[in-house]
Amino acid sequence: MTVSSEPRFSEAGGQSRGPHSDDRPVEFWPTAAIRAALEHDDLSVWQRIVVAIKRDPYGRTARQVEEVLETAEPYGVSRAMSEVLVRTREHLEANECAEVARHVRLLLDRSGLGEQEFASRIGVPAADFAAYLGGKVSPPASLMIRMGRLSERFAKMRSQRPGH
């Protein structure tokens, strides 16, 4: 599909501003169309871009918006889109931390150990382990592997005890 630089007109007689008027998903728009939409379009088009960013905060559309914002004046819709990127990514990170915390809790519970003992056996201060359980921070991947191995070892030992 070729994009004309000439303005298009809708059947109702109003001007249609760009290639996004073909109703393709925003994720398929070229960066030039994202730029044109941010510079010249209206709330309904900007909302479509926001939905795409929220769907995938580090995806293609989000990266295109970042690229456009690098050269945009910091006011109006560019400021709003920048805020959408920041808040959406913060929300994603908070959800991921909460998910990791649930997994850490599962490993702890499966081990049968107390929090202090578990923290000691993985080599971290109890306060750090409490922060992992609370979802305030996420442990490094290597520590997640260590926790998984400890949990597995103690779960296996518990299941082999008489009476289990």
Say how far apart CA 148 and CA 124 lie, in whole Å.
15
Considering the chain, what percentage of its residues have pLDDT values greater than 90?
A: 74
State which amino acid sits at residue 98.
Answer: A
How far apart CA 41 and CA 1 sit, in angstroms, is: 21
- pLDDT tens, 115-132? 999 999 999 999 999 999
Q: How confident is the model at residue 88 (pLDDT cuts 50, 70, 90)?
A: very high
Write the pLDDT tens digit of every residue in 6-32.
333 333 333 444 544 558 899 999 999
Per-residue confidence at 5, pLDDT binned at 50, 70, 90? very low
Q: What is the pLDDT of residues 44-73, one digit of tens each?
A: 999 999 999 999 999 999 999 999 999 988
Higher-confidence residue of 140 and 76: namely 140
Rounded CA separation 84/130 (Å): 31
**Which residues, 6+ apart, have CB-to-CB distance to 60 below 8 Å?**
27
Instruction: List the domains of the chain with CATH numbers.
Output: 15-72 (no CATH), 93-164 (1.10.260)
pLDDT of residue 4: 42
pLDDT of residue 20: 45
Helices (H) and strands (E) in the chain, counts: 7, 2
